[in-house]
Structure 1
């Protein structure tokens, strides 16, 4: 009877140790990039998201005030950006600060050589323009902002994987698979050539 009890206790301990080991291995062989990580990376670059352009021959300065990031909205494999922007229209020495709200969606892309995460192929999902008293047609402002975001994010990563938290930067030297989940992007080593690589 005592031997049976001892065997059961030992078995339970071994099972718990196994489960704990699996958890540790899983945490060591993967890491996540969260919405907050991407958002912080973009906010550090927000001053560079500006451009002088023109709409119907009228000078306009495009700038971005704030950005919110949503990873995997509605369980889709995209990264959504919500931007509050200001388009300063200059007419006859007067400035009209038109407020622009934009919704954008793009595809996460991991560059293995650069060890960097990009968001590319942006599409416009929403645009609202408050012209602040300006009577001209500013509907093309959304297209100007689309061009600004697409050209900038094509060459500037939203996250540098070398700085992965938790001391897991060594994973960035391995082929990685990328999985988009609500709120985060998960990277895991790609051991099997048949697996889908990070794009």
Structure 2
């Protein structure tokens, strides 16, 4: 009986998708800017990474994150990160505050059934350390690279095979669409069919 019910759901979903194939506007899942900001903030605040930057050991932590989806209609996600780092200089630890702005392209990975970021670009950086403020491009670029490595491995959103509504989507080709403040997953139909 349960198997019959699943097939009925799947049949209804396929029927619905077929009827919407001409417009390709059916969003099966939407992720708002607020949801994405909350999700990524929780993941990044747990990140306390030890690394070497410009030959100096440091411990990096993300303190605050602000995410914008498709700002000014651009097909990217912009992240503004406030980070705190402790740089080890001989026997002294120097606290450094870095504010970075990055842009990245979101994409849906069909195999991993998740939305990820790629093609990062450093837009702006500001640093404050030991009473000094300004821009230190080598340090900012190295810290941005560390964050990019983490963010490329971290899914923005993953379909959950334990949820019935997601399980039905696992075998359907999906595409990602961006509108200001929102990421949507919709069926990926071939044009001209």
The answer for the alignment partner of 1:8 in structure 2 is none
- CA–CA distance in 1 between the matches of 2:149 and 2:115? 15
- CA–CA distance in 1 between the matches of 2:28 and 2:37? 21
How many pairs are equivalent?
A: 167
The one of 39, 62, 65 aligned to 1:64 = 62
Q: Residues 179, 164 of structure 1: CA spacing in aligned structure 2 closer, same or farther, 3 A cutoff? A: farther
Structure 1 or 2, whichever has the larger Rg, is 1
Farther-moved stretch of structure 1 (144-153 vs 168-177): 168-177
Alpha carbon RMSD of aligned pairs, Å?
Answer: 2.9
Gaps of 5+ in 1: 1-21
The answer for the alignment partner of 1:11 in structure 2 is none
Q: TM-score, normalised by structure 2?
A: 0.74
- CA–CA distance in 1 between the matches of 2:104 and 2:180? 15
Gaps of 5+ in 2: 1-19
- CA–CA distance in 2 between the matches of 1:120 and 1:71? 14
Q: TM-score, normalised by structure 1?
A: 0.72
The one of 39, 42, 45 aligned to 1:44 = 42
Runs (4+) of structure 1 moved beyond 6 Å?
A: none
More helix by share: 1
Q: Residues 144, 159 of structure 1: CA spacing in aligned structure 2 closer, same or farther, 3 A cutoff? A: same
The one of 61, 74, 77 aligned to 2:75 = 77
